[in-house]
Amino acid sequence: MSDFVVWMSPEPVPAAIYRRWNWSPGGRLGTRRTESCQLGRASTASVEVAAIGQGLGTRSRREFISGDDLAKKLLTDLPRAGPGGLDRYLGSVAGAMVNRTENKALIWRDRFGRHPLQMIRLDTGWVITSAPELVSALSASRPQWSNIQAFIHGDAQTTDTDVLTDIFRVRPAEYVEFYEFSPSQKAIWWTPSPRFFASPVDEAGALLRSLGSLYGKHPHALTLSSGLDSATLAAMASVVHPATEAVTFSDPSSHNDETEGARELAAHLGLRWRPFEVTEHWPLSRLTDHRFPPAWGPAAHPDAAWKMPFHRWLRARRGSMPVMYGNGADELLWVPSTLWLRDRWADGDISALVEAFEHLPFKSWIRPAISEAIDGLGLRSLRERLPSLSDSRPPWQRSEDWITREPPGADLVDPGSATKQYFQLRLRRLQTWRWERIMRSLAAESRRANRPIWTPFLDAEFWELGLSLSPMNLVEGGRQKSILRQATDNLLHEACRRRPKVGGFDPLVERGLADRGSKQVYTLLARQRLGGCNGFDGDAFVKAYEAYRRRPLDDGPRRYRGSWPIWRTLATELWLRRLTTGRKAHWLHPRR
């Protein structure tokens, strides 16, 4: 993976770092290049710029621009425009600009956090780098327990403290200015602004065609399910690059296997299609697939169990060609059905409610009506107190039973209407650790596979369009992502656009954790590192896990035990083992 490192200190660059990075004489900026992510570098007599990521040109001209060409443009614009000039460039670009003569630096992270960016404070100064491997070597290797506890509970913290002490993350779309070797300012450089669009559907279609023409110029593989997100990406690819290879993660043992639907869709679009069977790649089937340098933090998702074998399989067939994922569409275009239904019940929109009744579960359909009736009777305060009287969650979902929970932080949204709150939440959750871990999973996967991963839905202009839409634009008859269904009207057949997504990896995960991987789980629990941590009750976790195993798995639509707290606890145990047994470089001495 291409990376950069900035050394902000009056002391010379340590020889141990200097030898590992490409430093210019007297510079404070080092770089290294690999194939999986393009890095660009440019300099003048006093200023150095490094940029990593995939540039998509400017708002006035969409084009692939990366590497040294992108760094040269940034070197021209940023010295006079400052952080405000970053918004001109599209794509996922992170970087640094260092003024050697004035001991100043500007470090920024891309809008969506596709590239990790961390700062570590040492006795002699600061290191800022996009390489978590370097951070792991420099860190005192002590866990930041409040962050780890929040991870196990699934909390949406927005703090900049990282998983290890003395490490700080630069949040998505955030920049940090250094002056005289110390941070002087930290702020957000991009906030998507909802705008008025006369025809949102036409605008969405134009953006999708633009993104398709950019990404489709290069051969790539596409992970294809029978859902709308990947179908939209497949439709984009089929227009400009029919040689795109569509790959479906196949699990024939699951009731929700999407293989047949994906095969039919690929045939309809004229794409080459291959299945990749994941049945034998269940979580914990190969522990090394979940091991990353400690500064990455615990694995947020067990998908490395089948993603890494997939990349090895794809490399044997197609080399290091990029892979396209649909990350970002859910976060931008999905609206909770209760939010939309409450408005429909309040307005008495009978036709929309009848249409929604045909494909929504009855409980989901009727619950907003009951809530509306309770509010109408003036019993809202009673309704808010009722959930606290009886916790209906099963024991394996009550993570507070086996690890203490810090008081929740400030709300992500301000008081106001439910619709207004949801728009705020959609935007602000990009700063949360929950989102950070998703992005780190993608970055870690890209590094391990030495392969670029493209995410077209993480696009600045697409998000600005999405944030301008109301639930009425996003939901049609109870179906989510209406804007995509309408924008692909001429590309996807009606059955595909209306088909509900029934796939997912829940059966694979739960069979792995509860059944096939139970031996590995008990081995981990027998000598658990978490047992020595304050606030962790190992016996309570074992009881919760045994209750989880006893619950039969009804492998039908949406009928799963719910394994997230179990997985996050096991992922933390694996991470702690890596932290305490992994080899650690001691050629620099962090401040303790």
Q: Domain residues of the chain, as ranges?
A: 3-188
The pLDDT, as a whole number, for residue 591 is: 38
Contact at 8 Å (CB) between 453 and 168?
no
Q: What is the pLDDT of residue 588?
A: 36
Q: Decide if 26 contacts 58 (C-beta within 8 A).
A: no
Tally of CB atoms within 10 A around 242: 12
pTM of the model: 0.88
Closest by CA position to 428, among listed 439, 413, 418: 413
Q: Is the dihedral of CA 117, 122, 127, 132 positive or negative?
A: negative
DSSP string, 167-227: EEEPPTTEEEEEETTEEEEEEE---------S-HHHHHHHHHHHHHHHHTTS--EEE--SS
Name the strand (E) or helix (H) holding 148: helix 145-153
d(CA 490, CA 313): 34
Residues in contact with 23: Cβ distance below 8 Å, sequence separation at least 6, in sequence order: 13, 29, 30
Structure tokens at 407: 């008081």
Cα dihedral value 235, 252, 254, 517, nearest 10:
-120
Question: What is the CATH superfamily name and number for domain 3-188?
Answer: Aminohydrolase, N-terminal nucleophile (Ntn) domain (3.60.20.10)
Over its length of 592 residues, how does the chain's per-residue pLDDT go in tens digits?
Answer: 688 899 988 888 877 777 778 887 777 899 987 655 578 999 998 999 999 988 888 888 888 888 899 999 999 999 988 898 999 899 999 999 999 888 899 999 999 999 999 999 888 889 999 999 888 888 877 888 888 899 999 888 888 999 998 899 999 999 999 998 889 999 999 987 767 777 888 888 888 888 888 887 778 899 998 788 899 998 888 877 777 889 999 888 776 668 888 888 888 888 899 999 998 888 888 888 888 888 999 998 898 899 999 999 999 988 888 999 998 888 888 877 777 777 777 777 777 777 777 767 777 777 777 776 666 666 655 555 555 445 578 899 999 999 988 766 555 555 555 555 666 667 778 888 989 999 999 999 998 888 889 999 999 888 888 888 877 778 776 677 888 888 888 888 877 777 766 667 888 888 889 888 899 999 988 888 887 777 899 999 999 999 999 887 654 444 677 889 999 999 999 999 888 765 443 333 333 3
Q: How far apart are CA 85 and CA 504, in angstroms?
A: 41
Determine contact, residues 474/483, Cβ cutoff 8 Å.
yes
**Nearest Cα to 510, choosing from 524, 525, 521?**
521
Rounded Cα distance, 337 and 418, in Å: 12
Tell me how far apart the alpha carbons of residues 515 and 375 are, in angstroms, rounded to a whole number. 45
Cα gap 32→5, rounded to integer Å:
9
400 three-class SS: helix
End-to-end CA distance of the chain: 30
Query: What is the spatial distance between Cα 266 and Cα 225, in angstroms, rounded to a whole number?
Result: 10
- For residues 323 and 454, is the Cβ–Cβ distance under 8 A? yes
Amino acid identity at 430 = L
